[in-house]
Amino acid sequence: MLVRHQYRAHFIHEDEVERLLQRATGATPATMRKVIEKARLAQGLTIDEVALLLGTMDAATEQVLYSAAHEVKLEIYGRRVVLFAPLYVSNHCVNNCRYCGYRQDHHFPRRRLTMEELEEEVKALERMGHKRLALEAGEDPALCPVDFIVDCIRTIHAVKLDQGSIRRVNVNIAAATEDEYAQLKEAGIGTYILFQETYHRPSYRHWHPRGPKSDYDWHTTAHHRAMRTGLDDVGLGVLFGLYDWRFEVLALLQHARSLEEEFGVGPHTISVPRLRPAAGVDLSTFPHLVPDRDFRRLVAILRLAVPYTGMILSTRESPPMRDWLMDHGISQLSAGSCTGVGGYQREGSQDPGDAGQFEVEDRRSPDQMLIAICESGYLPSYCTACYRKGRTGDRFMSLAKTGAIQELCEPNALLTFKEYLLDYASPKLRRVGEKLIEERTRAIANPRLNQMLLEALRLVEAGKRDLYL
C-alpha cells in the first residue's frame, strides 16, 4: 500500500539556504567577479558560489554577469533555439493553487478532451509545424487519471497529417506514484516535467491550501520517484513570484544536486515561468513578484550554475524579454501557445470553458516568431533526435559535458528547420530561412559532417522527412 508520509524532501535544506543568503549580503563586486570568471569555463558553479551572486549587485558587475551568461550560452548551445508547444488536455483539478486559473474554487465549465478532439488538436499543432509537445493537465485522479494521459500519448504519436508528426511528448502532470511513472515510461514519454512552484515550505502551504498538491514532501520528491522508476529525463521549475527568488534559486539547485548525487545525472531541463495574471487571480496579493531586472539576473545566474541543463521559457514573457533571455540562457521556447483545453482548434473562442491557465504575453504566430529568431541570428530547431536515438539521461549528459553534442545539434537544427520551411513557412520566412540555412551549413567546418548534411538537406528537399543524426 502506498504510504505518502514515507516521502520526505530531505534534500531541501532551508537552513543552508538562509545561511548562504545571509553570507551573500556581504559579497563584494570583486568576489562576485571572481565567481563569474570561474563560471566562464562553463563547468558550472557550486551552490555556495551561486549564493555569492545573489547579493546586491552593482550595474557594472551585472553587465559582466550578462556577458558571461551570453558566452556560456553560445559555447554550449550555439546560436540555436528549440521550439515546442504546450497541449492542455484537461482542466479538471482537485487542487486550489491560489495563483492558477484552473484551481477548484474558480468556477467555469471544465472539460477534458475526447480522443477525437485530441486528434484535432494535434492536427492543428502539426499544421503549425510543431514536432515537440508538452502535454499539460490539472490534477484529478478520477477525471484525469494516468491511464487517460497514457491514452493521450499514444493518440498523439499516432496522428500524422500530411508531412506532420509529433516526435516527442514531454509530460507535465501532477506528482505520481512509482507505478504511474512506470506506465508513463512504457508509453514512451519524453521528459517528465513538474514545477515545484515554491521551495519555501511556509509559502508552499499558503499557496496550496488543499488538495493532494498541498503535500510538500510528496510533490517535491516526485522527480526522485520518477527517476527511480527509470525515467531518464526530468524537468524542474519554479513559479517565480511566490517567494523570494533568491531563496528559490538556491533551493532549486539543492534539488538538482540531490538528483545528480542519487542518479548520476541532474535535471534535463529547468523551466522559469514567472507569475502571470490569470482569471480570478489578483496579482496585487503577491508580495514577491519578480521585477524584470531580477528576472534577467536569475536566468543568467542559472545559466552559469548549470550550463548543461536546458532552460525553458514559455509565452508568459513579452517578445523583447524572450529575445533577451534567449541570448543569455534560454535554450527552448514555446511558440504560438494556447493555454486552454481545446484552444488550438477553437482559436479566438469566447467559450469560458476555453479559459487559459494563465495569460499569454507573446502572441506571435510561430511564423512571426521564427522570422524574429532568424533575424536575431538564431537558428530555430525542431530537433527531437536525442530522445529517439536513446541519448537520454547520463548518455545525453556525457555528450553534453564534452561538448560533442554541438556536432549533432547544429545539423539536426538545420534539417528540421529545412523541413519546416518546405512544409509550413510563409514566403517571407522561407526567404529569410533559406539564406540562414545556407550560411550555417557553409560554416560547418568538419568536411565529413558538412558533406553528410548537404546530402541530407538534398533528401529533405526531395521530400524525405525525419532525418537526424
CB of 405 to ligand SF4, least distance (A): 5
**Is residue 138 within 8 Å of 95, Cβ to Cβ?**
yes
C-beta closer to ligand SF4: residue 20 or 97: 97
C-beta closer to ligand SF4: residue 12 or 415: 415
C-beta closer to ligand SF4: residue 198 or 229: 198
C-beta closer to ligand SF4: residue 95 or 315: 95
C-beta closer to ligand SF4: residue 61 or 170: 170
CB of 468 to ligand SF4, least distance (A): 7
Which residue is listed with cell 521530400?
A: 463
CB of 185 to ligand SF4, least distance (A): 18
CB of 384 to ligand SF4, least distance (A): 6
CB of 102 to ligand SF4, least distance (A): 4
Residues that bind ligand SF4 (CB under 6 A): 82, 93, 95, 97, 100, 102-103, 138-139, 213, 381, 383-386, 405, 408-409, 412
CB of 363 to ligand SF4, least distance (A): 22
**Is residue 176 within 8 Å of 213, Cβ to Cβ?**
no
Nearest CA to 420 among 351, 349, 365? 365
Residue 457 to residue 348: CA distance in whole angstroms = 37
CB of 136 to ligand SF4, least distance (A): 8
Q: Which residues contact residue 160 at a Cβ distance below 8 angstroms, ignoring those fewer than 6 apart?
A: 126
Residue 259 to residue 265: CA distance in whole angstroms = 6
C-beta closer to ligand SF4: residue 99 or 245: 99
C-beta closer to ligand SF4: residue 82 or 457: 82
CB of 268 to ligand SF4, least distance (A): 10
Count of residues in the chain? 469
C-beta closer to ligand SF4: residue 295 or 358: 358
